[in-house]
Structure 1
Amino acid sequence: MKRTIIEKLLIALAAVAAIAVTIFFTIEDEPPVPHSVPAPASIDDLDEAGFIAYMPGLDDPEFGTIDDLNLKTDDRVLVLHVNEMVYGFPLLHMSGAGEHVVNCSLDGSAISVVHCNEAGVSRVFTGDADTPRLDLSQAGLFRNELRLVLSGEEYQMTDKSIPLEDVQFTEITWSEFKSEYPGGMVYKWPAWD
């Protein structure tokens, strides 16, 4: 008995439909990532923790004057006022792999500046008055947003429950920064060895 082309197509479609239904019902949904999970205790524990892009923040960054940097006039700069001093953080310098978190002490204040270029979001944090430096790290990208690690706990960058105080900042162009804050100090791009 010879089958017609239509019969062969119907059999093939039925087989494809059976395979699709089988796959659909056998794929298990991955559980959602919890709001906050323990981070690895040390760098040796990274494989066990399963972090994809866990990286420590950049600590004790170098600052220079506006004459030390060569940026485009429309490059964006995050501006912080700490006591009587103005600090600029070019977002271009915080957009590469491992460059999203900068931990520093500015005029005696422990400050962490965080930028997620994927989400277009920046935040600045400070700790208690007796904290010499914050130990904030990045833990990769989740749902198009940077995840942060603080004191062994992981948070989405925009999570309001991060146990640090937010610091007010503004964002302007490099041209505006040079004009408005000629004596300001500017975060220099980290020199990778």
Structure 2
Amino acid sequence: MNIKVYWFVSLFATLALVAVACSPTTATVSDEDPAQGAVSSETDSEEDAAPATDIPVDAGSSAGATIDVPDDVELIEGGEPPRSAEQEFETDFTRTTVLFSEILSGGPPKDGIPAVDDPKYISTSEADEWLKDVEPIALVEINGQARAFPIQILIWHEIVNAEVGGQPVSVTFCPLCNTAIAFNRELDSLVMDFGTTGRLRFSNLVMYDRQTETWWQQATGEAIIGEQVGKQLEYLPLSMISWQQFKDNYPDGEVLSRDTGNSRNYGTNPYVGYDNINRSPFLYIGPETPGELPAMARVLTVEIGGDAVAYPYSVMSDLSVANDTIGGVEIVVLWQPGVASALDKATISASEDVGAVDAFSRVLNEQILTFIFDNGEIKDEQTGSVWNVLGQAIGGELAGEELEKIVAINHFWFSWAAFMPDTSVYTPES
């Protein structure tokens, strides 16, 4: 089979996978049933096919009012709005900062991939009945409350409108870009709830808020079309770690339940083989990907003060520790094994171990620490204390101390580079 034919076969196979991901006839796995892949003969009702859209608008909502465009934002002529968008949305398509030709249909319609709007939570002991130790989860910790959002759920819903520590949060995951990002969903006194538009830009999820129907780019948190165009959501720290790491370090933490109101085959991956380093991104039409890394290379990205650095998983798995300075801030990037890819095998827990990578300030108690990897352990040179990938000192003089988490986001290289083309790629010599 020649390369061109193979490419088309691969493309159509991926299209089929996306269709399966949005199918209303996928299986149900309950919290009470730990069996992976247990299939239900029931199909989703029309109510299950999309989340409720009658969420009350916050009293501070600006819906219906004219919102000034930020001074540093320039509106453009976007062209013809995306197909069917004017029928599906009440968005003001005259206000845009992007070309509509850059926006493609991902297959499902508006809310065809249903967000979780009424999240329920269970204990770690209950979740341990169906979560495997190596499965990836998104950890969000705010005001002393730690909640785990399993990727086996997010991969089917992409958005969870939640609260953590009293803070309104949207936890988002774009499978095509491998981006798990948490946002503060309160902006200018308006608490928003997000849904999926069914559209992609540079293969990345385009969300919308139900209060003003503005469209938002998940990778950047920027409003790109509609009433709130030009506004920016606040990133919140999120860590992609294993279920084992979460339950060991947060035994009293809470876990998003599989009782989502929708029937999905939780624990399975509808994008089998998608993270193959040699394949091409799905539905990517955008800037040429810089050649420093393969398009599908996994990276952890950090942007501080306008400076951006990508830390390849392939480099971090060799080093385990990288001390660096970005935008004048002293940071450390840590890697530990034990986290399965969500985009490899059909069963997530059986997938390749890609490890966990995270980033922290290395300033503690007004002292800049330097970290090393010594005899299989992460240590600081100043005290010899032992640390884990969560930035917690677990042994030695500093036991019990924690490093300050900074915003660091997992991406495939093509996705981050499309939006941040001037990013530096970390090497041990850089």
1:182 paired to 2:251: yes
Indicate the SS of the match to 2:248. Answer: helix
**Cross-structure match for 1:111:** 169
CA contact (8 A) 1:139 1:147 kept: yes
CA–CA separation in structure 1 for the residues paired with 2:135 and 2:144: 24
One-letter amino acid of the counterpart of residue 41, structure 1? E
Query: Which one of 211, 217, 233 corresponds to residue 156 of structure 1?
Result: 217
Shift of 1:106: 2.5
Letter in 1 for 2:205: L
CA shift for structure 1 position 155: 2.7
Give yes or no for the alignment of 1:76 onto 2:159. Answer: no
Q: Could you give the per-residue CA deviations for residues 84-124 of structure 1, whole angstroms, max 9, x where no partner exists?
A: 1111111111111xx11100223321110000112100111
Offset at 1:179?
0.7
Equivalences for residues 1-193 of structure 1 within 5 A: 40-41=89-90, 52-55=108-111, 57-69=115-127, 70-96=130-156, 99-126=157-184, 127-128=186-187, 130-131=189-190, 133-142=191-200, 143-150=202-209, 151-162=212-223, 163-189=232-258, 190-192=260-262
CA distance 1:79–1:85, shift in 2 (3 Å): same
* Contact kept in structure 2, 1:103 and 1:136, CA below 8 Å: yes
Query: Contact 1:57–1:138 (CA<8 Å) still a contact in 2?
Result: yes
Deviations 1:114-150 (A, max 9, x none): 001121001111124855x531111124242211112
What's the CA shift for 1:160?
4.3
Question: Which consecutive residues of structure 1, in runs of 5 or more, have no partner in the other structure?
Answer: 1-30, 43-49
Pick closer, same or farther for the CA change 1:129–1:108 going to 2, 3 Å.
farther
Q: Which residue of 2 aligns with 1:15?
A: none
Secondary structure (helix, strand or coil) at the match of 2:180 reads strand
Distance in 1 between residues matched to 2:243 and 2:122, nearest whole Å: 14
| Secondary structure at the counterpart of residue 183 of structure 1 | coil
Mean alpha-carbon deviation: is it higher for 157-166 or for 64-73?
157-166
Contact conserved, 1:78 with 1:89, CA < 8 A, in 2? yes
Report the Cα distance in structure 2 between the residues aligned to 1:63 and 1:117, rounded to whole angstroms: 23
Distance in 1, Cα, partners of 2:234 & 2:198: 22
Amino acid at match of 1:105: E
Distance 1:106 1:94 in 2: 16
TM-score, normalization by structure 2 = 0.32
User: Structure 2 vs 1, CA of residues 83 and 53 (structure 1 numbering), >3 Å: closer, same or farther?
Assistant: same
Cα shift readout 1:18-63 (whole Å, capped 9, x = no counterpart): xxxxxxxxxxxxx7878xx877139xxxxxxx99421153212001
Distance in structure 2 (CA, Å) of the matches to 1:129 and 1:33: 27
AA aligned opposite 1:57: A
Which residue identity lines up with residue 192 of structure 1 in the other structure? N
Question: Is the 1:102–1:114 Cα contact (8 Å) retained in structure 2?
Answer: yes
- 1:191 Cα deviation (Å)? 3.5
Matched with 1:10 is none
Bigger CA radius of gyration: 1
- Normalised TM-score (structure 1): 0.68
Q: Distance in 1 between matches of 2:235 and 2:187?
A: 12
2-side partners of 1:76 and 1:161: how far apart?
26
Greater Cα shift, 64-73 or 152-161: 152-161
Q: Distance in 1 between matches of 2:124 and 2:245?
A: 11
Q: Residues of 2 paired with 1:71 and 1:144: CA distance?
A: 29
RMSD: 2.8
Identity %: 21
Cα distance in 2 for partners of 1:175, 1:53 equals 36
User: Which residues of structure 2 form unaligned runs of 5+?
Assistant: 1-78, 92-104, 224-231, 264-430
State the match for 1:4 in structure 2: none
Count the aligned residue pairs: 151
- Paired residues of 1:116 and 1:146 also in contact (CA < 8 A): yes
The structure richer in helix per residue is 1
